[in-house]
Amino acid sequence: MPSPKVKNPGRSGGSPVLGSSNGRYEFLSLTKPLNRSSSPHLQRQGSDPTTARLRVSESPTRRRGSSSSTGSASGPPEEDTLRLNPSFIRVALSSLLAIDLWTSKRLGVCACEDSSWGSMRPLMKLVEISGHGIPWLAGTAYCLYKSDSAAGQEVMLNLLMGLVLDLVLVAIVKAVVRRRRPAHNRMDMFATFSVDCYSFPSGHATRAAMCGRFLLTHLVLAAPLRVLVLLWSCLVGLSRVLLGRHNVTDVMFGFWMGYCQYNLVEMLWLSPQTLQTLLGQLA
């Protein structure tokens, strides 16, 4: 009978049990490198290189690294990302243009006699003539000729300059933009010129905004007359859409352009003395 003090040779290294074969347990030291040939169990587990590669590829760290590298490789380059902004702006502008055309067509209720508000067409055409450039130029020149005061001549002179400036600027913008008039428009306008076949901006709207602001600033008018001037300016712009002459954006830009034209007239303001000096230099 063996003595209990005799230790098992396999336990002298204090190694944990790794496996058993026929009732015999095998031990390995923790301080020594793993010898796969000494354990048939480990040899069966680690001898297949394909299995080892699969385990490495299925590890969480490997999966996270591969997913991040795949995402970075498949992500769009910086150049492609920068190209998204122009396309988005193009889509937004196309959508706004479609809304503008649809709204203008719906509001063109006086475009012809057969329209829903066709009976109002003669009245709208009268408003159209009231905002035309020829009546304003002729009326301003007549008032300048008949005025007997220096202040009145100064006001009429600068109003005439503003009207000429409005005609020139609107003609330039129309020739540059070349936007066609709405399809439902009838070309029966009063005294048209070559650039009047284009729609953007509305010359009536620019003239109404500029003249309305000019009259409200430089003429002493009672409160009812001031309200009438404002209503007239708005009605001229509205008539352009109701008659089908312009789109909504043409009139809105025309109002803004006419408002800015008045500021330009104030910057270029001519006094009678300045005019006499210029005429003297030219003579």
Residue 81 belongs to some domain of the structure: no
For 82-98, write each residue's pLDDT tens digit. Answer: 455 568 788 888 888 88
Q: Are 211 and 159 in contact (CB under 8 A)?
A: yes
Residue 163 belongs to some domain of the structure: yes
For 8-17, write each residue's pLDDT tens digit. Answer: 444 444 444 4
Residue 9 belongs to some domain of the structure: no
Active-site option among 41, 184, 218, 246? 246
Q: Is 184 a catalytic residue?
A: no
How confident is residue 192, by pLDDT bands cut at 50, 70 and 90? Answer: confident
How confident is residue 258, by pLDDT bands cut at 50, 70 and 90? Answer: very high
Active-site option among 41, 184, 204, 218? 204
Residue 126 belongs to some domain of the structure: yes
For 125-165, write each residue's pLDDT tens digit. Answer: 899 999 898 999 999 999 988 888 888 888 999 999 999 99
Residue 135 belongs to some domain of the structure: yes
Q: Which domain does 214 fall in, by range?
A: 122-186+196-281
Q: Is 246 a catalytic residue?
A: yes
How many structural domains are present in the chain? Answer: 1
Residue 82 belongs to some domain of the structure: no
Report the alpha-carbon distance of residue 275 to residue 268 in Å, rounded.
12
Residue 115 belongs to some domain of the structure: no
Q: Are 10 and 22 in contact (CB under 8 A)?
A: no
Residue 216 belongs to some domain of the structure: yes
The string over 166-190, giving b where at least 16 C-beta atoms fall within 10 Å of a residue's C-beta and e elsewhere, is: bbebbbebbeeeebebbeebeeebe
